[in-house]
Each structure stands twice: as structure tokens, then as C-alpha cells.
């Protein structure tokens, strides 16, 4: 049996730095950013005192039942998922029950299926294909099924609706493989429209630079414009300032703001996060005026090239929806990302473990009828 211990933030980050397939949602910086949640860093140690796993655990208390809380390990914990999972899960379960946690949600970083961009494009063009899972995957990983069985035997359930805690992080993401590729090769794997848009932005004089914290206000202005145009609830400028500080104080230059300008006016801006071998496209915004200049393509292309320069193996464009239905308005996001080449990833998804059934039932009912 492994021993579960509390880790300092430095110990936690040191372990993550030596691990593969780590999500930025498992960094202490992410915990600092989550308003309304408390967090702590936990680790597993073997008999030799070596740290063999780590988890950023977020806690949220329940209104009217503040004695109880739910626990969430986003895109984690960071462990060897092909090892004896009980040796990790039993001490975690015991620890959380002592803290009056009624529900634990985890998100294993385990890939289940992979589809190439070509496969996705063919599915979009076929009216009989309505979702990604209708397509035969280019790669499927049997280990995902074995891990799912082990979690279910332990008591975890895969919750796919919003009636309980629901899936929080996207189960489908899109990424580009950068390792072993040149800029020219990355450019040539894009579709013709992407290459044309990049050339247009260059010919129109769009300039892309790495911004400073002071540029966040300009980013936020066009972000609010993007939110209104696309119909989502925006975050505050203060949130992005905290985001910028939390990650760059933890690891300098791990969060960058990329700004595209035309004749001195900001027309698009993106945030990237860099942890270990992976760079994420975290947020993006563009002004309505100037969209014909294709600044969003220019920013992405600069970020992709810079990700390769800093030694990243993967450029991660985060979530896509599962739909390929051309009548669904969200399919435009898939078209944008698939145009880069790359691949769609299906992760195992998130799993819930009930630790206090009466409180968990009450919580689920409250969410359903609020």
C-alpha cells in the first residue's frame, strides 16, 4: 500500500516536471486561479519514500451543508494508470472521507481513441455521419477499457449528464504533433484555406507579437466582443490578470499572451500555456472589424512555430464537441481546428466516486431542480 501525504507546492511541481502527459489543470497555479475553491497538493510515496504520484485536489463546499464538500482532481491524478490502481485509490478514499468529502471526481489522462484530421474531414462531408464516434478510429487503446473496468470495480461511475457533477473538462480534444516536423511540413499539412488565410494576413500587414500583462486589457476588450458575438458568458479582466500572474510566478514564461495588430490596432489575441512537452491554446479572441484580415490564423501560426521552438512535442487546441452534424453551429470550431491537420483525441472522460450517499443524492437533486 502506498502512503498518501501532503506535498508542498514545490514538491508537487517538481514531480510534475518529471512526469509525462501532465495537464496544466494539475498545477498549483490552476488551484490558485479557481475562485470559490480551496486546493491542496497530495502525493503518494512508496516504501522507499519516493514520490510515485501527485494530485492537485480542488474542494468546494456545499451551500447550506458547509461541513461537506466535493473534491475534484481535474485531468488527474498524475499517476501510472497501468499500475495497481487500488494502491493509489484506497488511501485517497480514506483521506477524503475524513475530510467530509461526499463526492470525488477524477479525470484520468488516458487516451481511448484517435482520429486523423483526414478521417474527421471525411466524416464532416458525409451527411450520414453525425458524430465523431460514428467514424472508425485510426487508433484505439485497449488499456482504456481495462482502466475503466478497474475504476468501476472500485466504485467509480462515469457520469455523462449534468444531473450530478457532470463532465467538466472536454472528452474530445484536438492536437498537432510537432516533434520531428519542420515549419514547412506543419504548413503543408494544413488545408488550402488555412494556408491562404496565413498568406492573406501577412500580405495585409498583420503583425504578431508576444504581449505583456499590460496588454491584457486590450485582449479583454476584444474577448468581450467575441463573447457577445458567439454567445458565451465572459470572464473578468481580473481573472486573466490572476491567470497571467499565477502561471508566470510558478514558472516564468509558462503563460504567454500573443497579440495580432493591424496598423497599431489589436485585432486578435490568444493565450498559451506551456507545461513540459505540451503547449495549449487556452483562450482566443478577435474583433469583428478586421476579421477579413485573418488575424486569428496569423496568431495560431505564430504560436505553433513558437511551440516547436521551445521544444514542445504537442500543440493542444483543447476541446471540440463530438458532433459532426453540419447543421450544428458548433461544428464550425471543429472545421477551424481540423484545417490545421493533426488529430482528434477521445480521452476516457471523468469518473465520480460517491463517499457519502445521502449527501450526494441531495446534491444531485439540488442541481437538477435549481
Instruction: Judge whether residue 12 has pLDDT over 60.
Output: yes
pLDDT digits (tens, 9 = 90+) for 131-146: 999 999 999 999 999 9
64 or 44: which leads in pLDDT: 44
Q: Across the chain, what does the average pLDDT equal?
A: 95
Looking at per-residue pLDDT, the higher value among 62 and 84 belongs to: 84
Higher pLDDT among residues 266 and 361, named by residue: 266
Mean pLDDT of 12-18: 98
What ranges do the domains of the chain cover?
A: 3-107+350-369, 179-312
Cβ neighbours for 190, distance < 8 A, ≥ 6 positions apart:
198, 339, 340, 341
User: Is the model's pLDDT at 368 over the cut of 50?
Assistant: yes
SS (HEC) of the chain: CCEEEECCHHHHHHHHHCCCCCCHHHCHHHHHHCCCCEEEEEEEECCCCCEEEEEEEEEEEECCEEEEEEEEECCCCECCCCCCHHHHHHHHHHHHHHCCEEEEEECCCCEEEEEEHHHHHHHHHCCCCCEHHHCCCCEECHHHHHHHHHHHHHCCEECCCCCCCCCCCCCEEEEEECCCCCHHHHHHCCCHHHHHHHHHHHHCCCEEEECCHHHHHHHHHHHHHHHHHHCCCCCCHHHHHHHHHHHHHHCCCCEEEEEEEECCEEEEEEEEEEECCEEEEEEEEECCCCHHHCHHHHHHHHHHHHHHHCCCCEEEEEECCCECCCCCCCHHHHHHHHCCCCEEEEECCCEEEECCHHHHHHHHHHHHHC
Q: pLDDT tens digit string along 190-243? A: 999 999 999 999 999 999 999 999 999 999 999 999 999 999 999 999 999 999
Q: Is the pLDDT of residue 164 over 90?
A: no
* Residue 208: all three cell numbers together: 504578431
pLDDT 10s digits, 233-272 = 999 999 999 999 999 999 999 999 999 999 999 999 999 9
In this predicted structure, what is the pLDDT of residue 370? 62
Q: In terms of CATH, what superfamily is 3-107+350-369?
A: Gcn5-related N-acetyltransferase (GNAT) (3.40.630.30)
**Cα–Cα distance measured from residue 158 to residue 351, given in angstroms and rounded to the nearest whole number:** 5
Q: Assign 165 a pLDDT band (cuts: 50, 70, 90).
A: very low
Average pLDDT over residues 109-126: 96
Q: Which residues pair with 85 in a beta bridge?
A: none
pTM for the model: 0.95
Q: Please give the pLDDT value at position 2.
A: 96
Do 3-107+350-369 and 179-312 come out as alike in CATH topology?
Answer: yes
Model confidence pLDDT, tens digit, residues 72-99? 999 999 999 999 999 999 999 999 999 9
pLDDT in the model for residue 329: 84
Query: Domain 179-312 has what CATH class?
Result: alpha beta
If pLDDT is split at 50, 70 and 90, which confidence band does 160 have? low
Give the span between the Cα atoms of 286 and 261, in whole angstroms. Answer: 11
Amino acid at each position: 500500500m502506498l502512503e498518501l501525504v501532503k506535498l508542498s507546492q514545490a514538491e508537487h511541481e517538481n514531480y510534475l516536471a518529471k512526469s509525462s502527459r501532465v495537464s496544466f489543470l494539475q498545477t498549483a497555479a490552476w488551484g490558485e486561479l479557481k475562485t470559490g475553491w480551496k486546493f491542496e497538493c497530495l502525493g503518494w510515496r512508496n516504501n522507499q519514500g519516493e514520490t510515485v504520484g501527485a494530485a492537485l485536489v480542488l474542494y468546494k463546499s456545499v451551500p447550506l451543508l458547509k461541513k461537506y464538500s466535493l473534491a475534484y482532481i481535474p485531468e488527474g491524478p498524475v499517476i501510472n494508470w497501468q499500475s495497481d490502481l487500488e494502491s493509489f485509490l484506497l488511501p485517497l478514499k480514506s483521506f477524503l472521507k475524513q475530510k467530509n468529502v461526499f463526492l470525488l471526481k477524477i479525470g484520468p489522462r488516458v487516451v481511448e481513441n484517435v482520429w486523423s484530421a483526414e478521417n474527421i474531414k471525411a466524416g464532416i462531408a458525409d451527411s450520414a455521419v453525425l458524430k465523431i464516434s460514428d467514424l472508425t478510429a485510426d487508433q484505439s487503446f485497449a488499456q482504456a477499457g481495462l482502466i475503466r473496468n478497474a475504476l468501476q470495480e472500485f466504485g467509480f461511475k462515469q457520469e455523462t449528464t449534468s444531473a450530478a457533477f457532470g463532465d467538466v473538462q472536454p472528452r474530445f480534444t484536438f492536437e498537432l504533433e510537432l516533434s520531428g516536423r519542420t515549419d514547412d511540413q506543419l504548413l503543408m499539412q494544413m488545408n488550402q484555406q488555412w494556408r491562404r488565410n496565413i498568406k492573406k494576413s501577412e500580405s495585409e500587414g498583420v503583425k504578431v507579437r508576444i504581449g505583456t500583462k499590460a496588454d491584457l486589457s486590450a485582449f479583454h476588450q476584444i474577448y468581450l466582443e467575441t463573447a457577445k458575438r458567439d454567445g458565451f458568458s465572459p470572464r473578468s479582466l481580473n481573472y486573466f490578470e490572476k491567470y497571467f500572474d499565477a502561471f508566470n510566478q510558478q514558472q516564468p514564461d509558462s503563460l504567454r499572451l500573443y497579440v495580432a495588430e493591424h496598423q497599431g490596432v489589436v485585432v486578435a489575441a490568444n493565450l498559451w500555456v506551456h507545461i513540459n512537452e505540451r503547449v495549449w491554446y487556452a483562450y482566443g479572441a478577435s474583433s469583428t472589424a478586421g476579421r477579413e484580415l485573418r488575424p486569428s490564423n496569423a496568431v495560431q501560426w505564430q504560436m505553433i512555430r513558437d511551440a516547436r521552438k521551445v521544444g514542445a512535442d504537442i500543440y493542444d487546441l483543447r476541446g471540440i464537441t463530438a458532433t459532426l452534424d453540419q447543421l450544428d453551429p458548433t461544428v464550425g470550431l471543429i472545421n477551424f481546428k481540423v484545417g490545421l491537420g493533426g488529430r482528434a483525441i477521445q480521452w476516457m472522460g471523468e469518473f465520480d466516486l460517491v463517499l457519502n450517499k445521502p449527501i450526494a443524492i441531495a446534491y444531485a437533486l439540488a442541481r437538477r431542480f435549481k
